Every structure is written in structure tokens, then in C-alpha cells.
Amino acid sequence: MAFRNLLIGDRGAIRTLTINRPDKLNALDRETINELSVAFEQARHEDHVRVVVLAGAGEKAFVAGADIAELEAFSPVEAQRFSRAGQRMMRGIELLGKPVIARIQGFALGGGLELAMCCHLRIGSDKARLGLPEITLGLLPGFGGTQRLLRLAGRAATLEMCLLGKPVDAQRALQLGLLGKVVEGERLDQEIDAIADQLAASAPHALAGILDAVLIGGECGAEEGMDYESKAFALCCTTADMREGTRAFLERRKPQFTGK
């Protein structure tokens, strides 16, 4: 599939997906949501891809939200279809089984923050501003924002951000868990490259097990989560990568994981 709104680039085992609508501050319309769904599904099935970096074109915004011009014309039925399509796309990212890093260099508002929250790691510039301002449009978040923000930041912060609609700066976002790390803007790509390189060199089965165990544990009881963790641990013990990792530790050398 040829993409109109996405740029795709590979650096070794690291794939970068860039939403390329800088004139619209990378706003999410139906076409872009569909393209993201397809692009992440492709990354899921390409074994050489071990890590995905999700970015927005330009320096002003990661994603500034949904495309309001398109949204304004929706009927209630169309609006629900749009909401569900966005939710499915973002759930697919969450369940990818490969680490996804959000590169947040400017605004991540509305659908943009919802998109960032479904990524596994979020690295932001010190100029980043994050928020869910849908209340100012007479709306509420529709791509899972109320639910993911609740799990990341807690009830009080979620109600404050959703009811008042005011964005927070990078340091406040760091305190709330919306960003995992904040760096100066000129160091953003360097920091993300270093993290992506570390992840790409890790054992893929172990990465997938960690992603699934944490996600499942956050959505079920502790006993069910620990049961899944023990099964994933045992499954890793059947892999060649586990043998390589333990041998490398005993031999005091760096492991070379192959994904087998």
C-alpha cells in the first residue's frame, strides 16, 4: 500500500513511522488513521523490525489532535465509526508485541495525546505540551483517552485535564507519567536513537513477554497477571536467545540475540 500521509524509514531493526501532515499539525483524519493501522500491521509481521518509533513531521507538533474540519461534518453514526476506528488502531499499537516509542517534540493534544499514550515509551522535548482539550469543542476524548489517562495519571489528574481542557508542560507531563523522559529539543533524536538501539539489541521474545505481561497485569487481577508472567517466563526458557543470554553473562561478554 502506498501511503499519502505517512513516511516510513528503516535503520537496521528500527522502523520510523512519521505522520506527514505538517500543514495540519499532523492532525488525525480517517485516511491517516487507516494508514497507521496498515503500517503497524505491516511492522507486526516483518520479523526484521524489532522497534517502532512514531513521530510527527515538523517541529510544532507530534499530533495536534483530530482533524476538526472533517470532524465538524460528521453525523452521530459517522462520529462513532471514527471513534471506534481510532480506538482499534491505537489498541493495535498497544498490542503490537514490539516496543513503540513516541517522539513528542511539540503539541500532543486530543487524539495526539491519545496516540502517544498507547505507545509503550514516550520521550518528549522540553518544549512539549500535552493535553485533552476536547471539552472546549463540546466533546470528550473518543480514542480511549479517558481510560488510558486514568491508568497512567490517576483519577484526579484525569478529571482535571479532561474537565478543564488545559494542556500541561513537559515537566508536569513527566510527573504524571505521560512522558517517561524529557530532554532538550536538540537532543531528542539522539536520546530516542539510543533507547531504540538498546531495545533492538534485546531478545524479541523477552520484549514481547514484558509488553504483554504489563498490559495484561494492568487490566486484570494480580493473580491472573502473575500467572501470565510465569507462563511467559517459562516460554522464554525454550528460546535460543535465553541460552545465549545466560551463556553470555557467565562468559562475561555481550549477548547476540537472534530472535530464535
Would residue 229 show up in a list of annotated catalytic residues for this protein? no
Sequence-separated (6 or more) residues with CB below 8 Å from residue 146: 140, 158, 162
User: CA 253: distance to chain centroid?
Assistant: 32
Residue 108 β-bridge partners: 63, 130
Would residue 114 show up in a list of annotated catalytic residues for this protein? yes
Which residue among the candidates 72, 114, 160, 229 is catalytic per the annotation? Answer: 114
- Backbone angles phi and psi of 140, in degrees to 5: -125, 165
Torsion 150-155-157-163 (CA) sign: positive
Contact criterion met (CB below 8 Å) for 50 and 13: yes
Percentages helix, strand, coil for the chain (3-state, rounded to 5) are 55, 15, 30
Contact criterion met (CB below 8 Å) for 257 and 236: no
The tally of CA atoms less than 13 A away on the side-chain side of residue 91 is 11
Which residue among the candidates 41, 59, 134, 251 is catalytic per the annotation? Answer: 134
Residues with a known catalytic role: 114, 134
